[in-house]
A and B are shown apart, each in its own frame.
Chain A
Amino acid sequence: MKTIKPLLREPRVVIAGGFLLLLLLIAIFAPYIAPKDPLEQDLMLGNMPPATSPGAEPGFYLGTDDLGRDVLSRVLYGSRIALTVAFVAASLSAIIGTLMGLAAGWYGGWADRIISRLVDIWMAFPPVLLSVLLVAVLGSGLHSVIAAIVIIDWTRFCRVVRAETMAQAQLDYVMAAETIGFSRSHILWREILPNVAPVLIALFSLEMGIAVIVEAILSFVGLSLSSDIPTWGGMIAQGRQMIHQGWWVFVFPLIALFATVLAFNQLGNGLRKALDPVMRR
C-alpha cells in the first residue's frame, strides 16, 4: 500500500492511468458498448458524416466509411488490437531485454561483451524499416507484428537494465549481501532486481506506447492485419484515401491513436517520477 500512495499523488499517473483503464474496459466490453457491428456494411449508408453535421444518419455518431461501416464501432473495436499488441509486445520485449540486461550488467565479462555487441549491431538498423522488413518476411498477421516489435525493441530494455544493474552493483548493500554469504544469483534476483523494477515499470509503459505506434504504422502500410479486422492504423490508411469525401474516417482513429500513445507516455514519465523518491535515496 505504501508504494501505491505516492503514485496517486502524481497527476499524470492518475489521469493517464485512468484513461488507459477506461480504454481497457472499452476493449474488453467492445461488443456490448459498440452501437453497431463494426464489420456490417451498408452501401446505401456510405460516407455518412458525424452526428453533429447536417445530413447525418441517426445512430451513426461518428459517421460511416465508404462501405457504410460505423466509424465509432470500428474505433472502439480498434482498441482491442492496439492494447493486445501493446501489452504482449511490451511484455515479451521487457522479459527478453531484462534477462539480457541483468546478465550483461551483473555477470559482466563475456556475457556483457556478447550482449553489448549484439545491442550495438541492433541499434544500427533503422527500426521502422526493420519492422516492415520483418513483417514482410514473417508474413502479415498479429503474431508477426508482435514478433517484429519484440525483435526490435528488446534492446531498449536491455540497455537500460544493464546500466541500472551496473549502477546498483556498486552500492554497499550488494557488498553487504555478499558478506552475508548469499549466492550471486540470489543477490541478482532478490536484492538488485527490486531496485531495477521502478525504471522497468516506467519503461514498460513507454514501450506500450511505442508498440501502439508501430502496430499502426504496419497497419497503415498494410502489413498488419486483414482489412476486415478494425485497427486504427488500417482505418487511418483507408480514411487517407478518401479524406476529401469524409475527414471523419481519418480523424477519429487518429485521435484515438494519439490519445492512447500520449497516455502511455505520460503514465511512463509519471511513474518514473513517482517511483523514484520511494525507491532510491
Chain B
Amino acid sequence: MRRFGGSPARTISRAVTFLVLLLVTVVMLYPFWFMASSAFRSLQQYTLGLPGLSLASWRLLLQLLPIGQQVLNSSIVTFGSILLILILSAMGGYAFSKLSYRGSQLIFLAILASMMIPVQSMIIPEYTNLSYVGLINQYIGAILVYTALYTPFATFLMTMYFRGIPNDLIEAAVVDGLGYLRIFFRVMLPMAIPALATIVVLEFIQIWDDFLVGLLFLQGPDVRTITVGLATLNAARVLNVPVMMAGSLVSAIPAIIVYLLFQRYLIAGLTMGMGK
C-alpha cells in the first residue's frame, strides 16, 4: 500500500513516526514489565541483580496478606455495586427518556449535576452518617456508597441510549396492551444490552480499583478489599519490593483481563461521556 509507495521523504517521516511511537510504548509498558518481572524474583535476586526466577516472594505474600479473602471481598463489593447500579440506572434511564412527568427533567438535571461533586467534599458526613446507622465494616455500606457515586453517570448513559429507541415502538406496545412494566422488561432491556455491558465494564474497573471508599468503609481486616490490603503492605514499610510487586500484580490482573477483553466498551464509555 502507501507504505511502499510515496516519496522517500514520506517513507522516512513514517519511519521516524513509528520509532517515536515505539519509544512511547516502552515508556508506557516499562512499569508493567518491572512489576511482572520483579514479582517472580526472590529478594536476594532482586537486590543483588542476580539472574533467575523464584516463587519465594509469592510464598511470603501469602503469609503477609489473606489474598483469597481480600479478592473475595473485592468481588462481593464490586459485583454487588454493579448489580445495584444496573437496576437503578436502567429504571431511571427508562423513566427519564420515555415516561417523563412534571419535574422529571429537573430531577434528571440534578442527577447530572451530582457528577460534579468531588468525593472528598461529601465523604466526611457520608462516613459519620453510615457509622451512625452501623454500616461501617459491612459490605452493604460500601456497596451503597459506590452505587450513589457511580449511578449518576450510568443513568446518563442509559437515558441517552433509551432516547435513541423510537417512541413509536412504545406507543405500539401500549396499543398492543402491554403495560409499562412489561415494556421495560420485554422491549427496553433486551435492546439495552450494549449499554448495560458498557456500564458493567466501566464500573468493574472503577470499583475494583477504588481505594478511598474501601479504606474508610471497610476497615476491618476480615472485610478489607485487595486494593486496601495492598496499601497496608506499603504502609507497614515492608521493604521487600518483589513481594509488593507480586501483590500489585494480584490486584491489577483482574482489571487488566477485563481491559484486554472489553477495551472497546471502555473507549465507548469515554466517548459517550464526551459527546452530548
Q: Do A and B bind each other?
A: no
Could you tell me which B residues sit within 8 Å of A by CB distance? none
